[in-house]
């Protein structure tokens, strides 16, 4: 998606089904999005640039790893992409998180992308970089700050309660691989 100045924008196409044609979705007070991309604070604080950075970090991990942010049918150790990537790093095998379908890549660059993704998906909004910093990190124009898989907020997730139910994996195994789990909460406040 592009804005009026032809800048790229990420969007959640799952949200488009929630509004009737011709209605103005900017009038909603609901925080709507796809589980896995939604920053934990969105339901209590509403959308912000920090929640956008979180979603972009998850997107970076998804593209690099070839996995969805939440896969209810997998074991608890692999169910949440952010946690799984961090666990790979804790085992000193961050590169093992890379999508095996990627043929040729620079290990150093891919490691940088994974670390930027984890940094963006930090549990603490104040610890997330700005998008300007993210671009500089990805271009190699700015050194990543020193952080480790055990750093506060790194690899920590707060999954919605419905994803912790044991029956959800049974539901997902019978549904299409293209299914999305949607959630929403009522929040009050102004937009970003």
Segment 137-156 mean pLDDT: 93
At residue 32 the predicted structure's pLDDT band, cuts being 50, 70 and 90, is low
Cα–Cα dist 46/30, whole Å: 9
Cα–Cα dist 36/48, whole Å: 16
Mean pLDDT of the chain: 77
Which run of H or E residues covers position 32?
A: strand 30-34
Residue 33 confidence (pLDDT): 66
Segment 44-49 mean pLDDT: 84
DSSP state at residue 148: -
Residue 88, number of CB atoms within 10 A of its CB: 19
Residue 177 predicted with pLDDT over 50? no
pLDDT (tens digit, 9 = 90+) per residue, 97-119?
A: 999 998 888 999 999 999 999 99
Chain centre distance of CA 10: 12
Q: Which range (11-15, 41-45, 99-103, 137-141) has the least confidence?
A: 11-15
Residue 29 confidence (pLDDT): 57
Q: Does this model's pTM top 0.85?
A: no
Structural domains of the chain in order of their starting residue, each with its CATH number: 49-182 (1.10.510.10)
At residue 42 the predicted structure's pLDDT band, cuts being 50, 70 and 90, is confident
First to last CA, the chain: 18
């Amino acid at each position: 998606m592009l804005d009026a100045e032809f800048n790229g924008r990420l969007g959640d196409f799952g949200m488009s089904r929630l509004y009737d044609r011709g209605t103005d979705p900017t009038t909603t007070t609901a925080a709507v999005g796809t589980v896995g991309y939604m920053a934990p604070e969105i339901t209590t604080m509403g959308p912000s640039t920090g929640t956008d950075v979180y979603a972009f970090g998850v997107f970076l991990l998804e593209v690099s790893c070839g996995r969805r942010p939440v896969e209810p049918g997998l074991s608890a150790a692999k169910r949440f992409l952010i946690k799984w990537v961090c666990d790979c790093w804790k085992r000193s095998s961050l590169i093992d998180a890379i999508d095996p379908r990627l043929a040729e890549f620079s290990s150093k660059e891919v490691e940088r992308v994974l670390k930027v993704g984890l940094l963006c998906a930090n549990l603490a909004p104040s610890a997330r970089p700005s998008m300007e910093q993210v671009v500089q990190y990805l271009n190699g124009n700015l050194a990543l700050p020193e952080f480790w898989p055990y750093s506060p907020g790194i690899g920590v997730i707060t999954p919605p309660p419905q994803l912790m139910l044991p029956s959800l994996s049974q539901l997902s195994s019978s549904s299409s691989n293209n299914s999305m789990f949607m959630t929403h909460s009522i929040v009050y406040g102004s937009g970003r």
